[in-house]
């Protein structure tokens, strides 16, 4: 920026995070004392007090940091709140060596190292749920809690059906063509880009969320994601000792891939997941389908706050 001018961004201060294999991940940090007023500059923010809990958000399959904007700004009122883009999404460059579930969890572990020492509460939506579970199993000493928001779960058999997988690939292929033609944002933007979002967040979503690169990254992830997740039926990540809240969308919706049967299986899987944890909790977002962070952000914030307070009481 010229002339020393500063531009403030709703989601905070930008920071590049190096990975162990030399890539960089784009993140944005809101500190608890300055919610909604950080500089959008590539600079490291001042570290928080060593006892402060940090909340890190993991987005869904094709989503960027922007999908957490409504939740992040409210969480920043009581904790350091960090969003980031996985490789190939948002502003993070693609990973040419694959996007396996294992590798995405490794990247999240690199974020924990970068923003340490913790403790951390990890919040994952949709495909982000398994990613935070796997990362937490590898770093249980620094993870104080998990909040899983309508997560993909290995206990939901519908995810592994031929019908679901065929539909997933159809959506990706059609989406790539629409993105190539510049039509994807017009067809799906209205269902994702809420007018209640801040203008800078809407601009980011419109610029970054409907590109062929996003669809290519989704295809890269989809090649192995469900295959890896299915192996968890017999060998799941060990997170039973980590306090875990699972939030289910309460509404069935064919448009977001969750018709009645799939929704019922998802909720049953979420109840099961919470029951596997010594401090498990299951909550239903009655007014939401799959996009709970956008449709009921206040519920997600309340559950994160509850987890942060629980972690503070135990520290």
pLDDT in tens, 5-14: 446 899 999 9
Q: State mean pLDDT over 238-253.
A: 97
- Asked if residue 269 lies in contact with residue 155, where contact means CB atoms within 8 angstroms, the answer is yes
Domain with 96 in it: what CATH number? 3.40.50.1820
Q: State mean pLDDT over 276-285.
A: 97
- Answer yes or no: is pLDDT of 182 > 80: yes
* pLDDT value of position 191: 62
Burial call 239-269: b when 16+ CB within 10 Å, e when fewer: beebbbbbbbbbbbbeebbbeeebbebbbeb
Q: Name the pTM for this structure.
A: 0.91
What average pLDDT is seen over the chain? 90
Q: State mean pLDDT over 47-73.
A: 87
pLDDT in tens, 96-147: 998 999 999 999 999 999 999 999 999 999 999 999 999 999 999 999 999 9
* pLDDT value of position 299: 98
- Asked if residue 82 lies in contact with residue 120, where contact means CB atoms within 8 angstroms, the answer is no
Residue 97 tokens, joined: 């060596």
Q: Residue 208 belongs to what domain range?
A: 2-314
* pLDDT value of position 291: 93
Predicted confidence band of residue 255 (pLDDT cuts 50, 70, 90) = confident
Predicted confidence band of residue 41 (pLDDT cuts 50, 70, 90) = very low
* pLDDT value of position 229: 98
In total, how many domains does the chain have? 1
């Amino acid at each position: 920026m010229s002339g020393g001018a500063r531009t403030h961004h709703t989601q905070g201060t930008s920071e590049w995070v190096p990975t162990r294999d030399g890539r960089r991940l784009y993140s944005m940090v809101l500190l608890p004392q300055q919610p909604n007023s950080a500089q959008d500059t590539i600079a490291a923010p001042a570290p928080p007090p060593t006892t402060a809990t940090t909340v890190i958000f993991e987005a869904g399959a094709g989503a960027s940091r922007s999908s957490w904007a409504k939740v992040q700004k409210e969480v920043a009122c009581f904790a350091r709140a960090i969003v980031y883009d996985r490789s190939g999404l948002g502003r993070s460059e693609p990973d040419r060596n694959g996007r396996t579930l294992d590798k995405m969890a490794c990247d999240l572990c690199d974020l924990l190292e970068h923003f340490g020492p913790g403790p951390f509460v990890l919040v994952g939506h949709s495909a982000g749920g398994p990613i935070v579970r796997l990362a937490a199993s590898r770093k249980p000493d620094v993870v104080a809690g998990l909040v899983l928001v309508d997560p993909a779960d290995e206990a939901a058999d519908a995810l592994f059906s031929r019908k679901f997988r065929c539909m997933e690939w159809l959506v990706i292929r059609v989406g790539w063509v629409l993105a190539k033609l510049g039509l994807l944002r017009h067809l799906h933007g209205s269902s994702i880009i809420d007018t209640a979002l801040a203008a800078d967040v809407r601009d980011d979503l419109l610029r970054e969320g409907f590109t062929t690169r996003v669809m290519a990254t989704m295809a890269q992830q989809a090649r192995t994601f469900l295959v890896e997740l299915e192996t968890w039926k017999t060998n799941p990540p060990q997170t039973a000792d980590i306090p875990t809240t699972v939030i289910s969308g309460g509404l069935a919706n064919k448009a977001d891939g969750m018709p009645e049967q799939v929704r019922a299986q998802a909720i049953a899987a979420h109840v099961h997941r919470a029951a596997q944890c010594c401090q498990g909790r299951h909550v239903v977002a009655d007014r939401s389908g799959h996009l709970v962070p956008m449709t009921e952000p206040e519920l997600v914030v309340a559950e994160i706050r509850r987890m942060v307070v629980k972690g503070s009481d135990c520290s």
